[in-house]
């Protein structure tokens, strides 16, 4: 008799939004299927080949298989042929849909229609899925989430204006653009303003060069990689979180998990109105948007938010109400896994030790 769910993913280790989402999905799935959830992690192409038989063998006893991202879509095609009654769903993240290799895009066109449901983490991701011949009725939009029990409460507002960005230093994140085009405008009205940047990436040298060229060493701190504890401390001690993304062809922002991490701690967000970032901010409640790649718009919004600060307790409350994984799990249970009901005693707390390894078939 078939029972339970198999979760297959590629991203369980390392730093990044997809890695975090993958681990969060697994924790959530274990809460919904406390006794019958199993996981297989496929970290590389060789592992794809060697672990595929185990995926097929394990799936034969399950009534549901959920894939962590669309790059695993060929598995859905194979499973649909082997087990016609098996429910097969996937979470689409963004770049796993838009990666521009002709063979990869051909694969998506052939395999995406095989899924019973495709969970999209933002409206932008949903649009990308729909233009690849997927029936809109098969698409469910559920954002990424946070674990409120892990969010710290806020400390006092800093006396010197502090802006904070956390993320990979790559072009689409817009940090280089923000420092060069927006920061000089802000310093004119807030000469003591400090912009702290957490993260590493291929734009690190470019950003350092801009800081040096514009003589912004007293206004910018490039902190590199730091611990989660130090990052959370920065959430506490900053005035605004900045998400200054710019448009880069075929390199979309699927969501923006750092936005909800910051606002769950009560830190308001000033973000570019672009792609999946639009789904990570509740406008006028957890933050405000500016026009992407418009320095005047960005500077105006940030100055307004500094002049009239958001109620931080309300920012945290609104974020936790909408993006809590306990809340999102009810949507997965109803619209994706088609569970008849959610038991109220099923706890969804990552801190209880539900990690990728606890119930995994392979990792």
pLDDT in tens, 36-72: 999 999 988 888 889 999 999 999 999 999 999 999 9
Q: What's the pLDDT score for residue 13?
A: 65
Instruction: Work out the average pLDDT over 271-276.
Output: 97
For residue 24, pLDDT beyond 80: yes
Closest CA to 154 of 306, 320, 275: 320
% the chain with pLDDT above 90: 81
Query: Mean pLDDT in the chain?
Result: 89
Are the folds of 5-145+324-362 and 149-318 the same? yes
Q: Does residue 83 surpass a pLDDT of 70?
A: yes
For residue range 300-322, what is the model confidence (pLDDT) as tens digits?
999 999 999 999 999 999 999 99
Q: What is the spatial distance between Cα 348 and Cα 352, in angstroms, rounded to a whole number?
A: 8
Compare 357 and 233 and report the one with higher pLDDT: 233
Residues facing residue 66 across a β-bridge: 7, 89
Is pLDDT of 355 > 60? Answer: no
DSSP 8-state class, residue 289: E
Q: What is the pLDDT of residue 357?
A: 31
Tell me the average pLDDT across 148-166.
76
Lowest mean pLDDT among 19-28, 77-86, 143-152, 177-186: 143-152
- For residue 35, the Cα-to-chain-centroid distance in whole angstroms is 27
State pLDDT tens for residues 192-211: 999 999 999 999 999 999 99
With a CB cutoff of 8 Å and minimum separation 6, the contacts of 345 are: none
- The token duo for 282 is 């509740």
Report the topology of domain 5-145+324-362.
Rossmann fold (3.40.50)
**Domain spans of the chain?**
5-145+324-362, 149-318
CB 22 within 8 A of CB 12: yes
Assigned superfamily of 149-318: Glycogen Phosphorylase B; (3.40.50.2000)
Min mean pLDDT across 117-126, 141-150, 229-238 is at 141-150
pLDDT at 354: 35
Task: Give the single-character DSSP code of 14.
Answer: S
Q: Specify the pTM.
A: 0.89
**Structure tokens belonging to residue 207:** 């950003």
What's phi and psi for 356, nearest 5 deg? -60, -30
Angle between helices 73-82 and 102-111 (to 10 degrees): 40
Q: Three-state SS across 76-131?
A: HHHHHHHCCCCEEEEEECCHHHHCCCHHHHHHHHHHHHHCCEEEECCHHHHHHHHC
- Identify which has the larger pLDDT, 325 or 46: 325
Cα–Cα distance list, 119 to 10, 21, 136, 160 (Å): 16, 12, 11, 42
Q: pLDDT per residue over 337-353, tens digit each?
A: 998 765 434 444 443 33
Q: What is the pLDDT of residue 352?
A: 39
Q: Comparing C-alpha atoms, which of 335, 333, 329, 323 is closest to residue 347?
A: 329
Q: What is the DSSP letter of 181?
A: I
Q: Which residue has the higher pLDDT, 114 or 63?
A: 63
CA 278 to chain centre: 12
Q: Answer whether residue 268 shows pLDDT above 60.
A: yes
């Amino acid at each position: 008799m078939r029972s339970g769910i198999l979760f297959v993913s590629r991203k369980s280790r390392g730093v990044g939004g997809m890695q975090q989402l993958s681990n969060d999905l697994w924790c959530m799935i274990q809460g919904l299927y406390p006794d019958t959830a199993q996981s297989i992690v496929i970290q590389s192409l060789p592992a794809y080949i060697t672990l595929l038989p185990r995926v097929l063998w394990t799936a034969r006893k399950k009534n549901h298989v959920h894939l962590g991202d669309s790059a695993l879509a060929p598995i859905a095609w194979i499973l649909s042929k082997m087990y016609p009654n098996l429910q097969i769903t996937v979470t689409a993240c963004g770049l796993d849909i838009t990666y521009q290799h002709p063979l990869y895009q051909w694969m998506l066109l052939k395999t995406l229609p095989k899924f019973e449901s495709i969970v999209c983490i933002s409206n932008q991701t949903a649009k990308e899925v729909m233009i690849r011949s997927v029936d809109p009725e098969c698409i469910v939009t559920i954002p990424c989430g946070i674990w409120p029990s892990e969010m710290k409460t806020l400390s006092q507002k800093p006396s010197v204006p502090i802006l904070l960005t956390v993320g990979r230093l790559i072009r689409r994140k817009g940090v280089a653009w923000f420092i060069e085009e927006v920061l000089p405008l802000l310093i004119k009205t807030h000469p003591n303003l400090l912009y702290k940047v957490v993260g590493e990436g291929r734009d690190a040298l470019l950003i350092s060069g801009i800081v040096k060229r514009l003589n912004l060493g007293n206004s910018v701190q490039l902190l590199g990689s730091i611990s989660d504890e130090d990052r959370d401390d920065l959430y506490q001690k900053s005035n605004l979180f900045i998400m200054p993304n710019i448009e880069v062809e075929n390199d979309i922002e699927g969501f923006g998990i750092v936005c909800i991490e910051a606002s769950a701690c009560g830190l308001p967000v000033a973000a570019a109105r672009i792609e999946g970032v639009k789904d990570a901010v509740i406008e006028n409640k957890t933050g405000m948007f500016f026009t992407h790649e418009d320095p005047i718009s960005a500077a105006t919004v940030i100055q307004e938010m500094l002049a009239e600060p958001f109620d931080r307790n309300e920012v945290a409350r609104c974020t936790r109400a909408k993006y809590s994984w306990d809340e999102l799990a009810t949507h997965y249970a109803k619209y994706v896994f088609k569970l008849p009901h959610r038991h109220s005693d099923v706890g969804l707390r990552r801190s209880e030790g539900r990690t990728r390894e606890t119930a995994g078939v392979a990792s």
